[in-house]
Structure 1
């Protein structure tokens, strides 16, 4: 049940993934290799992510794989970034960029948003999609209720640093292996991006460095970090020597507007899933971290639908 995974009836599973796996007979060494190497959920180890969230995510992904059929969209034409760009073009009114928010002040009939450049923006309602690792540095007056404030201050986000590499030649044809691979070294997980449908030509490789590996690479500058990653790929795949060129690099945890990627519920935090998204006066919350029955981009869409109805209801109720 995707909408009730956080129910108190399942609280016995709101424990560290590590503890759950140990209870099933796994050794620390097996957990380190099988879960903590390029782990999809967690900030540093199997100790800091709830087994209940992981079970929910696995179930959600299984349903996605089985359900959509030909309607499933894996990637938008030209890249997923084209979706928010297209959506932004359809917005009415001004889209104000490069205005870092420092404070949100709430009153009975609206809210005022303060930006670092000194500007103020008054509205009858404010919708906030700011990830909690960033929002915890924004002053909200008055403070949200205790449970919601605790979520803002403590909810984790997955550290990921990505390297987008352009192959100057198809080195995988030389060694006879897949262009994509998984390792326990600095190169982490390497995925192949293809032109068009499955089976199309490989255009780029995306290196996903997660958790402590991401934080290790974040200690270096762009060029040195890329050198470490490419050297590791060349060590593992000698056919790749001289074949890879860095096109782009991004640390999501060091991004001041992100603070990480998707939300991570630590052990004992699943009870915050509902209160963290509740309206706080004229301040409303959305974003992947506030969704209940989905994750990723689908979660962002889910939360957008919910928050739009919340705002409409609040404003129409005030007018009646």
Structure 2
């Protein structure tokens, strides 16, 4: 964490003065602690959405207080510091069209760098270890027709890009597209995917389950990502490779994406209050009162919630949400991502198929070889999505580490005695976010999408889950900007 920011939030001049005179001025200090603080806007959540809302409001002269329940700034934009280098747990890369995120980085002089080159994945499918070169002709490849030419990790994009009915990204909310608000499984099956392809995609898709997640929301995200990128005839193309060859640039934040949100917090005139988990929001016709779990109260004219719905549903809100919005808060689905990071003592992949990265149809799903801080492979990243991640969450950290090592040794004997677990992370284990991302279930979009970002009384909603067109970090940044502008418009 940025040292200046860390000191700013833990050792402020006010806090230092309190520690010096705590004994002699105890009654006065006690009164200050119990008294409520006032601002124009209280923002709950110091992630990308909340911080961008705060910056926009401060620019217009509003007094803002940002409350963060965790002990760091960034929310799901989080960077893990490992002995092998820093790795992003959320906010992996900055896409070519992340205009707001790039503008924020440039204005705050946060350096962006080119990502390391991607590493092709080998495969462990149907009990066989197969290189990417041999996959199309392998007996382990049970897919059919054109599918056989596609690597398992690319089948999802192969089918969804080939069978995307959206003429443009804005049309995903039109009634003419509502027939595609079906499960990803059903859409792929209707598009001709074989049962084996469906089984493989169920492992790679970043949703809780392709049997329940909406295809329409997925198609929207894909259409936005593809904008301006020419179609490729290569069946194994990816968005990353196609955009790069077209001169469009993906970027990373030097030192990790969390450096960006720390810089945003530093740029604020007011502090970000860490460890201020909110338990209640009460609103009248004129103002709001926000109460943290430790009893501290904050008063404001407006509140912006920039936390995931999985966290918002744990806050008591008076008056409460009504009808559709209440259902959205209570019943929205979310996906999880679990990752286990491993060191290796030697290049074991040279002793088998030559691919350091591996797609598997087992419970450990995928293993990415990462280049952190250079072109040399420095660690392995076991990545599990959706319901598979939730199942592995039932294990203790120690048991999970043992399980991953044993599974890798079983499917890839060359790893025996060459791997060591150095860290792990699961978003569902976070008591605050409880998830990696919001996912629309099939059939929800027609009723929910137009209501998910709608202001409630004096409470405004931001966060990636409120997105309409953009995705990823750009969606989060835009949502914070939108919520700020909604307040400005109300006051105008």
Give the TM-score taking structure 1 as reference length.
0.89
CA offset at residue 206 of structure 1?
1.7
Residue 210 of structure 1 is matched in structure 2 by 385
Aligned to 1:135: 312
Decide whether aligned partners of structure 1 residues 248 and 86 sit closer, same or farther in structure 2, where only a CA change above 3 A counts: farther
Cα separation, partners in 2 of 1:98 and 1:34, compared to 1, 3 Å: same
**Alignment RMSD (CA, Å):** 2.1
Structure 1 residue 119: Cα displacement? 1.2
CA contact (8 A) 2:338 2:385 kept: yes
Q: Name the counterpart of 1:301.
A: 477
Aligned position for 2:279 = 102
After TM superposition, list the pairs within 5 Å mapping 1:2-81 onto structure 2: 2-26=169-193, 28=195, 30-31=197-198, 33-41=199-207, 43=208, 45-63=209-227, 65=239, 72-81=249-258
**Bigger Cα displacement from structure 2, 301-310 vs 164-173:** 164-173
In the alignment, the residues of structure 2 paired with residue 82 and residue 73 of structure 1 have an alpha-carbon distance, to the nearest angstrom, of 17
Confirm or deny: 8 A CA contact 2:306 2:480 kept in the other structure. Answer: no
CA distance in 2, matches of 1:3, 1:247: 43
| SS of alignment partner, residue 121 of structure 1 | strand
Q: For 1:92-140, what per-residue CA distance to the aligned partner results, in whole angstroms no more than 9, with x for missing partners?
A: 2121111221111112222211111111111122111111112112111
Rg bigger for which structure? 2
2:290 to 97, 113, 118: 113
* C-alpha distance 313-222 of structure 1, shift in aligned 2 (>3 A): same
| Distance apart, 1:37 and its partner CA | 1.6
Which residue does the alignment assign to 1:188? Answer: 365
Q: Please, which runs of 5 or more residues in structure 2 have no aligned partner?
A: 1-167, 230-238
Are 2:282 and 1:282 equivalent residues in the alignment?
A: no
Q: Which secondary structure state, in structure 2, belongs to the residue aligned with residue 5 of structure 1? A: helix
User: How many residues of Structure 1 are paired with residues of Structure 2 in the alignment?
Assistant: 311
Aligned residue in 2 for 1:244: 419
Matches within 5 A, 1:251-262: 251-262=426-437
* Secondary structure of residue in 1 paired with 2:367: strand
* Conserved? CA contact 1:187–1:230, under 8 Å: no
Distance in 2 (CA, whole Å) between partners of 1:85 and 1:172 is 38
The alpha-carbon deviation at position 264 of structure 1 amounts to 0.4
Deviation at 1:304, TM superposition (A): 1.8
Higher mean displacement: 165-174 or 120-129: 165-174
